[in-house]
């Protein structure tokens, strides 16, 4: 089917979904929706919500496309995380014409220093001339610009682990924009496999790898995690706690003895439950917490 030619006056359409969440959980709910593909979120705060952490707030999430089934899946994810207020109307979809968000997003995506060495920069902003390791990220469809607490804490943990030892290979599960895989490459990991089941995210991640001249070090793939066989000494997975729990047998199997597993996308109150599924094979070495989210650093016990 032929496509209509576009002009400079054409505007892209988006879909807005609205969810009612407790005021105290707005940031956490927005993080879950971003991890599930939302391009961005905005909260509408009733006056009374500023006086009560439990008062419902309308959280708007914006998507390129959103089917009824996808909307219901997002609703279920928030409900299971204890973040959905069900006292009001159910979530609904609204089609929108782009009012210029792309340009507004560019003005807000500034270079971001993380840890001691890393600097996340957009392609339209030249990296600062300093000793930091620049990682260029064109956000596109992939989740992971470094601005969400889960990405920041994972990058900081990754930097610390790569400072302690040299990893010859690694695995990044749910790569999104590719930011963690790119950080691995820039921090000296020689061979990286980066997985994602979203073709658009993989395209965005490959584009970012080209911007960083790291394409040769990273293999991006939609291969299912269960199909991998070769253990690696370093694995990152910044997803959601429910997915991390489901993946526990495969992530445990794929981590080499003495290796490091960095898990993120976990609410702090969910950490103990996640750890139940990784013990006794894994032991917790440390963690990093920010704004209610926690990143766990685990070690696989050496074989006797």
CATH number at residue 153: 3.40.50.150
* 123 and 94 in a common domain: no
* 282 and 154 in a common domain: yes
- Percent of the chain residues past pLDDT 70, beyond the cut: 84
CATH number at residue 56: 3.30.70.260
Whether residue 5 is contained in a domain is answered as no
Supply the pLDDT for residue 140: 60
The DSSP result for 97-120, as a single string, is E--SHHHHHHHH---EEETTTEEE
* 286 and 182 in a common domain: yes
* 113 and 54 in a common domain: no
* 281 and 142 in a common domain: yes
Whether residue 232 is contained in a domain is answered as yes
Supply the pLDDT for residue 303: 59
* 202 and 89 in a common domain: no
Mean pLDDT of the chain: 85
Write the CA distances from 112 to 16, 55, 115, 122, integer angstroms. 28, 33, 10, 9
Residue 235 has which token pair?
């694995």
* 115 and 74 in a common domain: no
CB 202, CB 181: distance < 8 Å = no
Whether residue 80 is contained in a domain is answered as yes
- Taking the C-alpha atoms of residue 125 and residue 243, their distance in angstroms, rounded to an integer, is 35
> Pick from 67, 99, 131: which residue ends a domain?
99
- Taking the C-alpha atoms of residue 122 and residue 138, their distance in angstroms, rounded to an integer, is 6
Residue 58 has which token pair?
């309308």
The reported pTM is 0.73
Supply the pLDDT for residue 92: 85
Residue-number span of the structural domain to which 188 is assigned: 109-300
* 291 and 155 in a common domain: yes
CB 158, CB 180: distance < 8 Å = yes
* 219 and 123 in a common domain: yes
Whether residue 117 is contained in a domain is answered as yes
Supply the pLDDT for residue 282: 96
Whether residue 3 is contained in a domain is answered as no
What's the total number of domains in the chain? 2
* 296 and 215 in a common domain: yes
Per-residue model confidence as pLDDT tens digits over 2-31? 333 334 445 577 889 999 998 878 878 888
Does the N-terminal peptide bond of residue 280 adopt cis geometry, omega within 30 degrees of 0?
Answer: yes
Whether residue 104 is contained in a domain is answered as no
Q: Are strands 169-173 and 232-238 parallel, antiparallel or unpaired?
A: parallel
**Is the confidence at residue 235, as pLDDT, over 50?**
yes
* 274 and 228 in a common domain: yes
> Pick from 41, 73, 99: which residue ends a domain?
99
* 275 and 138 in a common domain: yes
Whether residue 4 is contained in a domain is answered as no
Within 13 A of 239's CA, how many CA atoms are on the CB side?
20
**Is the confidence at residue 90, as pLDDT, over 50?**
yes
> Pick from 69, 99, 129: which residue ends a domain?
99
Per-residue model confidence as pLDDT tens digits over 147-162? 788 999 999 999 999 9
Within 13 A of 89's CA, how many CA atoms are on the CB side?
7
């Amino acid at each position: 089917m032929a496509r209509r030619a576009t002009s400079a006056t054409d505007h892209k359409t988006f879909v807005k979904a609205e969810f009612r969440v407790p005021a105290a959980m707005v940031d956490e709910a927005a993080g879950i929706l971003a991890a599930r593909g939302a391009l961005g979120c905005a909260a509408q705060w009733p006056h009374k919500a500023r006086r009560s952490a439990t008062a419902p707030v309308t959280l708007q999430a914006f998507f390129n496309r959103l089917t009824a089934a996808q909307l219901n899946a997002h609703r279920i994810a928030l409900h299971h995380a204890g973040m959905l207020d069900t006292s009001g109307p159910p979530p609904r979809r609204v089609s929108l014409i782009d009012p210029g968000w792309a340009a507004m997003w560019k003005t807000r995506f500034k270079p971001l220093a993380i840890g001691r060495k890393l600097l996340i920069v957009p392609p339209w902003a030249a990296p600062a001339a300093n000793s930091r390791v620049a990682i260029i990220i064109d956000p596109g469809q992939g989740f992971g610009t470094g601005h969400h607490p889960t990405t920041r804490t994972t990058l900081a943990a990754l930097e610390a682990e790569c400072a302690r030892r040299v990893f010859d290979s690694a695995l990044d599960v749910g790569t999104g924009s590719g930011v963690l895989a790119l950080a691995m490459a820039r921090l000296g990991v020689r061979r990286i496999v980066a997985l994602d089941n979203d073709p658009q995210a993989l395209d965005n991640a490959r584009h970012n790898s080209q911007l960083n001249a790291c394409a040769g070090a990273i293999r991006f793939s939609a291969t299912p995690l269960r199909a991998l066989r070769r253990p690696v000494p370093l694995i990152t997975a910044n997803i959601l706690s429910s997915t991390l729990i489901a993946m526990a047998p495969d992530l445990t199997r794929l981590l080499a003895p003495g290796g490091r597993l960095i898990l993120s996308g976990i609410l702090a109150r969910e950490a103990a439950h996640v750890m139940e599924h990784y013990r006794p094979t894994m032991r917790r070495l440390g963690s990093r917490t920010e704004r209610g989210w926690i990143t766990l650093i685990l070690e696989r016990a050496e074989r006797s």
